[in-house]
Amino acid sequence: DTGVSQDPRHKITKRGQNVTFRCDPISEHNRLYWYRQTLGQGPEFLTYFQNEAQLEKSRLLSDRFSAERPKGSFSTLEIQRTEQGDSAMYLCASSSSENTEAFFGQGTRLTVV
Partner 1 sequence: AQTVTQSQPEMSVQEAETVTLSCTYDTSESDYYLFWYKQPPSRQMILVIRQEAYKQQNATENRFSVNFQKAAKSFSLKISDSQLGDAAMYFCAVGNKLVFGAGTILRVKS
76-105 burial, b at 16+ Cβ within 10 Å, e below that, comes to ebebeebeeebbbbbbbbbbeeeeeebbeb
Q: Which residues pair with 67 in a beta bridge?
A: 77
Q: Say how far apart CA 81 and CA 92 lie, in whole Å.
A: 21
Among 22, 44, 54, 61, interactor with partner 1 by CB under 8 A: 44
Q: Say how far apart CA 73 and CA 59 lie, in whole Å.
A: 24
Answer yes or no whether residue 21 interacts with partner 1 by CB under 8 A. no
Answer yes or no whether residue 7 interacts with partner 1 by CB under 8 A. no
Where does this chain touch partner 1 (CB under 8 A) — which range of 18-26, 35-43, 60-68, 75-83? 35-43
Where does this chain touch partner 1 (CB under 8 A) — which range of 15-23, 65-73, 74-82, 93-101? 93-101
Answer yes or no whether residue 91 interacts with partner 1 by CB under 8 A. yes
List contacts with partner 1 (CB under 8 A).
Answer: 33, 35, 40-45, 48, 55-56, 91, 93, 98-99, 101-102, 104-107
